[in-house]
Amino acid sequence: MDRRFVDCHSHVVPSGDDGAEDIPTGVALCRDAVEHGTRLLFATPHVWPELTLTAAREHEIRAAFERVRDRSPIELRLGWELTPTRALLDEDPRRYALEGTDRVLMEVPFTGPADVLVALATHTEEAGLRPVIAHPERTEAVLDRPVLADELAERGWRLQVNATSLLGRHGQDSAELGWDLLDRSVAGIVASDGHRRTRPPHLDEAYALAVRRLGEERALPLFDGTALGLSTPTARAPSQAA
């Protein structure tokens, strides 16, 4: 398998959220990602309103990250996936950047309006970083008003569609919206959002569909890290362990 993919969204490091439950599972998911063509994988534990990134939790996650990375045949980097909250507006977003980039991954809330997301993305941008907006195609706000995705993209923020959405695994509406965002170049990144063995961090099947639908010239930059400034193979990034 030609390892060409950069996956900026996964939950392969145990963190107390709904991702990998232990180190062996995380290692297995990383090995699986390699076998399906990924060369660089970002582990992005959730930062939820009910599961914040306390100093103690961050220390535990970084220790787990090192254990998974040391046992995995892939370049693994650490980042975070932020669920927007007012409390995050008082923090330095540089704490949450995807390792080795100036990008911060944040999701459109699954329910309710996107007002706090817009505020958080603006706060991130004002700190000199670039927001990456995760899986808009799966959220109530965008499904109810698809033009919201266009409005977010018009601000210069990168939208990231889940590979599983493109494969129809989150329902027809999410699949149709995900493909529409790619067809119109509103979204510029595809990532796995891989969580567990039943939802692994695979990109190859979605990439094959994208090549057939969009052509390789348009499809590859959605998967190879171009939108993150990481389109060429890189050496393992230095650890950010505290």
* pTM, two decimal places: 0.94
Looking at residue 43, its pLDDT comes to 98
Looking from the CA of 241 toward its CB, the CA atoms found within 13 Å total 11
Looking at residue 234, its pLDDT comes to 45
Pairing mode, strands 46-47 and 81-82: parallel
State how far the Cα of 124 lies from the Cα of 127, in Å rounded to an integer: 5
Looking at residue 152, its pLDDT comes to 98
Give the ranges where 145-203 is alpha helix by DSSP (H): 147-154, 163-166, 172-183
Structure token pair of residue 156? 């210069």
User: Which residues on neighbouring strands pair with residue 130, listed in sequence order?
Assistant: 103
Looking at residue 231, its pLDDT comes to 63
Residues 6+ apart with CB under 8 A from 159: 132, 133, 136, 149, 152, 153, 181, 186, 187, 188, 189
Kindly give the parts of the chain with pLDDT less than 50: 234-242
Structure token pair of residue 219? 């499809």
Give the length of the chain: 242
Domains and CATH numbers, the chain: 5-228 (3.20.20.140)
